[in-house]
Chain A
Amino acid sequence: MGYINLLDLIESRDAVNKWMERYGVRFGVYKHGVFNEQLFPFDSVPRIIPKSDWDYLEAGLKQRVKALNRFLWDIYHEKQIVKDGIVPEEFVYAGKGYMPECEGVDPVGKVYAHIAGIDLVEGKDGQWYVLEDNLRIPSGASYPMVARELCRKVSPQTFKDNAVADNRDYSDLLRQMMNEMCVDGGIKVILTPGRYNSAFFEHSYLAEKTGATLAYPGDLVMEEDKVYYIGMFKEKVRVGAIYRRVSDEYMDPLCFEAQSLLGIPGVMQAYKAGNVALINAIGNGVADDKGIYYFVPKMVEYYLNEKPILQNAPTYLPYYEEDKDYVLANIEKLVIKDVSEAGGYGVMFGKDMDEKRLAEMRQLINDEPRRWIAQEVIDFKDLGLLEGGEMVERKADLRAFVLTGKDTVVWKSGLTRFSRNPDSFVVNSSQGGGFKDTWVMMK
């Protein structure tokens, strides 16, 4: 990798942020029950991933997502991994993510996680670690798409001079995957919960970019095992694939939350009959639970008979006596996560707790060992960014997007989120962070 001149890009940061503001690149946050839309602050210094690192990540991500798809199939069919004692049944069948309604259902092409968002960090030693798998409705791909588009406009020379993999193909990858999944030549739709959803910008942007129809709750109906889109003149248009951005529990009021107005009553019947593809499949929560995460490297060995390429952060399950003893003895240096929480909530650092809090935490772990996992705190690499004209270092992670249709592919980019607070390791956008473009180098 040669010398990369970023001066031009750095100078254009404000311009890019202005354009994003004009385009309405936002995400919504609910705080104390009030909805607010925020801009997602962009830092123009990209995260640069050298080709050798990327080749490693790409192979590891494909392997991991293939194993996760195999696991999901197994759990809703033979359950061999549970019978063989690799994954304890408590971690599968007592969680919120497990949906009995999906037992025996055969999704198109046996694919469950069509779009997987895998969160990674790079340690100071250059070792990458997976922090979390997101197999339900991972969001964030639209931000680097928009940012790249704008960066190329404000500084075309930067992209002439550097062999950066073009990331504007995400919509093509997505469209191709949706085409491969689509049933009976129906139309493809992106189902959004509506404009008060935190990722509404992304839903509308991806619909525009892929040529899919943006559907709101009420636009879709199920009749006699088929799903239809109600058009402008009340005509019914057959739907073949639904990229849904509505969570499992709200997707079908006849099967899940009865009060849901966001879903399609009866959609599960069309799905079970094989008359519509749901992207992602229902019931994926059983595989991206913080407790199940511990077992993913074991899944790779179990299903693919390969050595896992990517590493998990060192993780302990208090469910196992040996791990519990270790966690109770070393809690001060660990990060404790509540299995049932997401979005950066329920993450606690032992080093931030006083004696009283530590004692409470130990008690909680003793009472409900299944509810917690503990991890070593990874000293991950800081990335440089501009703050008030100065270069400062902040913690950052990377969400890689892995798409599975007929084949599994990794998008040559990703969402790099950083924490704006110098002392914080939590980078979730719902916690006030910003983002960077992610450059994957071709040479």
Chain B
Amino acid sequence: MLLRCLPREEAFQHVCNEQFTINEEFWYRERRDGLGNRIIITGTDTAHTFVDYACSGIVETTIYCIPDSAPHPMFSLPSRLTQPSREMLTLMPRLTGSFLNDCLALSHEVHRYLAYTPGVTHILTTAQEAYRLRQGVCQDYSHLMISLCRAVGIPARYVCGLMMGEGQTHAWVEAYDGQCWYAFDPTNDTAIASGYIKLAHGRDALDCPVSRGTYIGITQQHTFVNVSVKEI
């Protein structure tokens, strides 16, 4: 099993006091994936009926801004789930050349266009499909905004992370202004200043699933996720 449930170390967030637990028969190692995300690799060859893992801790955050002198070119190019279509580009708002205003305008356009509807899209839904459906969840909002950003030459990447409160993981967008990555949340139509905990980033959602695993056996599989974030 591969887990991306640990927060990245970033300029704006520092992880202190972190605990990870998993079924005792599982071995595990902490590693990094090709994008620098923290991952846990774990497994067992003993029979089991469930895997229960938990990660808890304290993250110190400041203003969301990640300096980067040389962003990877892959964040400027279309990826599997963010390939733009001609119709999609008709969403493009009038851009002014001011980075912050343009990103907010793109976020606003995506937010206005899509209706938040859980259950109509899935983990492999592309930006083009979400565009046609006019519905989706945070992943689809982010993909659509990333497509548009890259189409106008703004490097953009997908972020998986946590928001304040109870519930599930969240997804948002980081866009690059030439010096730093700034974060935008098209689902909530806002620029992100603080209060978000970043787990992983990638070209699109395919690069940062929270968990992936395989098992041998014939059974029905169910996954339950619970996230709780509080300010202290």
Contacts and interface: CB of A to CB of B under 8 A. Distances in A.
Interface stretch (B50-58, B70-78, B105-113, B162-170): B70-78
A253 interface: yes
A104 B34 contact: yes
Contacts of A221: 45
A145 B34 CA distance: 39
B74 A93 contact: yes
A240 interface: no
A140 to B, nearest CB: 30
Nearest to B31: A269
Contacts of B132: none
A338 interface: no
B20 interface: no
Nearest to A76: B34
Contact of B73 (A89, A105, A223, A266): A89
Interface string A74-96: 00000100100000011011100
Interface in B23-57: 27, 29, 31, 33-35, 41, 43, 45
A221 B27 CA distance: 14
Interface residues of B, number: 25
A102 B34 contact: yes
A221 B216 CA distance: 12
Given A100-B203, A103-B35, A224 B212 contact: no
A103 B74 CA distance: 12
A282 to B, nearest CB: 10
A423 B76 CA distance: 44
A124 to B, nearest CB: 41
A98 interface: yes
Interface residues of A, number: 28
A100 B212 contact: no
A158 to B, nearest CB: 53
A99 B212 CA distance: 18
A221 B215 CA distance: 12
Contact of B213 (A89, A99, A265): A265
B102 interface: no
Nearest to A88: B73
B29 A265 contact: no
Contacts of B2: 254-255, 266
Contacts, number: 61
A332 B115 CA distance: 48
B34 A103 contact: yes
Interface string A92-124: 111000111111110000000000000000000
A7 interface: no
Contacts of A104: 34
A132 interface: no
Nearest to B33: A101
Interface string A23-51: 00000000000000000000000000000
Contacts of B35: 100, 103
Contacts of A269: 29, 31, 41
B212 A223 contact: no
Nearest to A225: B29
Contacts of B133: none
Interface in A250-286: 253-255, 258, 265-266, 269, 272
A170 to B, nearest CB: 34
B77 A255 contact: no
Nearest to A98: B74
B42 to A, nearest CB: 9
A92 B168 CA distance: 35
B1 interface: yes
A51 to B, nearest CB: 45
Contacts of A266: 2, 41, 43
Interface string A224-262: 110000000000000000000000000001110010000
8 contacts: A92-B73, A100-B74, A100-B203, A103-B35, A254-B1, A258-B209, A258-B212, A265-B214
4 tightest A-B CB contacts, nearest first: A101-B34, A94-B77, A254-B2, A89-B73
